[in-house]
Amino acid sequence: MEDRKIVELYWARVEQAIHETQRKYGPYCLSIAKNILPFREDAEESVNDTYLTAWNIIPPNRPGNLGTFLGKITRRISIDRWRCLSAEKRGGSTVPVALDELAECIPDKSDPEAEVEAKELAKAVGRFLDTLPFADKSVFLKRYYYLASIQDIAEELRMSPGKVKSMLHRTRGKLRLYLEKEGYC
């Protein structure tokens, strides 16, 4: 079923909307959640919460692209869940490693919370991505948006893990310079 029709079902408050969402985007949302949450039951719970959130916020939202809309919700819910679980010392996620990597881009000495809102930072990262070649942008998003492992990215893009690491290293360096130039560091 096409996205527009599914969104229409949400607006009409027909519960079939959830079933159609599950059928079309369930695997996609689960793949995002599983990158962040190592235990399947946690990931599945995040995906179920995604459906509930979508039900609660469509309407008034009318997402233009239902897939990315749901993906964003899943990512946010899964990271929140990971933060709760990490307090209970449940490891195995790619998130801590990704966080360590991203720490290079904004050093601890800066205080972005006080200086900029996350939305502004997102816009800056977006502008930075616009400057990147397609392949670099793709690898960056797979790693830091979808939080995929280096190995998974390498297999998907048919590259060696070393090449993926090297691309990410180069991109992080550029991002750091870019954010410095924009006054974030």
Partner 1 sequence: MNSEKLLDAIGLLDDRYLETERKTPVIPWRRRLIAFAAAVLMLILSVGTAMAISEEFREAVFRFFLVEQDVIVPTSPVESEISADNMIVEPTVSITGSPLEGSGVYDTQSVTGVYVHTPVATLARDDVFLVCRDEVSMKSGNHYDAYYVEKGAFEQLQERSFDHIYEIRGDRIRVCFDWVEYKGKAHLTYVDPKAQFRFFGEQPSAEAMLACLKLPDGGYPVLINLYTGEMTDLLAGTEAESLPNLDMMAISRDHTKLVMHQEDLKESFLYYVDLTTGAVHKLDELAGERVDACALTEKKLICWSITEHPFGADEYRIWNIDLTSFQKTELFDGVRNAAQTKTEDAGIVFLEGFDGRSHWGNNYTGSPFAVAVDEEQNGYVIDLETGETSRLEGLVWQHGMSKIPSSDGRKLLMTCREDGRPDIGFIAVLDFEEETVLQFHRENNGGVSESAYWFSADTVAICTVVYGTSLSADYYLYRLSGTR
Binding footprint of partner 1 on the chain (CB under 8 A): 2, 4-5, 8, 12-14, 28, 57, 59-65, 67-69, 71-72, 75-76, 79, 95, 98-103, 105-108, 110-113, 118-119, 121-123, 125-127, 129-130, 137-138, 141-142, 144-146, 156-158
Q: How far is the CB of 153 from partner 1 (least distance, A)?
A: 11
Q: How far is the CB of 175 from partner 1 (least distance, A)?
A: 9
- Number of neighbours of residue 95 by Cβ within 10 angstroms: 19
Of 8 and 44, the one with the shorter C-beta distance to partner 1 is: 8
Q: For residues 88 and 74, give the distance between their C-alpha atoms in angstroms, rounded to a whole number.
A: 21
Of 40 and 62, the one with the shorter C-beta distance to partner 1 is: 62
The string over 128-157, giving b where at least 16 C-beta atoms fall within 10 Å of a residue's C-beta and e elsewhere, is bbeebeeebebbbebbbbbbbbbebbbeee
Q: How far is the CB of 39 from partner 1 (least distance, A)?
A: 20
Of 51 and 144, the one with the shorter C-beta distance to partner 1 is: 144
Of 72 and 174, the one with the shorter C-beta distance to partner 1 is: 72
Q: How far is the CB of 169 from partner 1 (least distance, A)?
A: 15
Q: How far is the CB of 96 from partner 1 (least distance, A)?
A: 10
Of 1 and 44, the one with the shorter C-beta distance to partner 1 is: 1
Query: Is 139:157 a contact under the CB 8 Å cutoff?
Result: yes
